[in-house]
Amino acid sequence: GNSVTQMEGPVTLSEEAFLTINCTYTATGYPSLFWYVQYPGEGLQLLLKATKADDKGSNKGFEATYRKETTSFHLEKGSVQVSDSAVYFCALSEGAAGNKLTFGGGTRVLVKP
């Protein structure tokens, strides 16, 4: 079956530091890949997505590139802010059953001023 593995947190870093959260996946087909974010006290929100190999998703300074050869979709941001403190979830969908999502376990990121 499908699965998503992402680095465990918490990740603690200082403002303006570089952030990378690793994500790898296992899928039987050709999935679409997503990063969702959950800010404190809020619901899950889509951060970015990529639907085919070599696509780069980007939003709010975050980027992730769909790497089929390494089955990876690592999230990066060049200069984090305190407001980026949140839990980040990598997810995939193979389009079956209306596009149900398979999530990783989440990575908590804490940015200190």
Partner 1 sequence: GAGVSQSPRYKVAKRGQDVALRCDPISGHVSLFWYQQALGQGPEFLTYFQNEAQLDKSGLPSDRFFAERPEGSVSTLKIQRTQQEDSAVYLCASSLGTVATYEQYFGPGTRLTVT
- Binding footprint of partner 1 on the chain (CB under 8 A): 4, 32, 42-46, 49, 51, 89, 91, 93, 95-106
Q: How far is the CB of 42 from partner 1 (least distance, A)?
A: 8
* 11: helix, strand or coil: strand
Tokens describing residue 87: 């839990």
The CB-of-95 to partner 1 minimum distance in angstroms stands at 5
Minimum distance, C-beta of residue 30 to partner 1, in the bound complex (Å): 10
> Which residue, 61 or 95, has its beta carbon nearer to partner 1?
95
Q: How many helices (H) and strands (E) does the chain have?
A: 0, 12
Whole-angstrom distance, CA of residue 67 vs CA of residue 56:
9
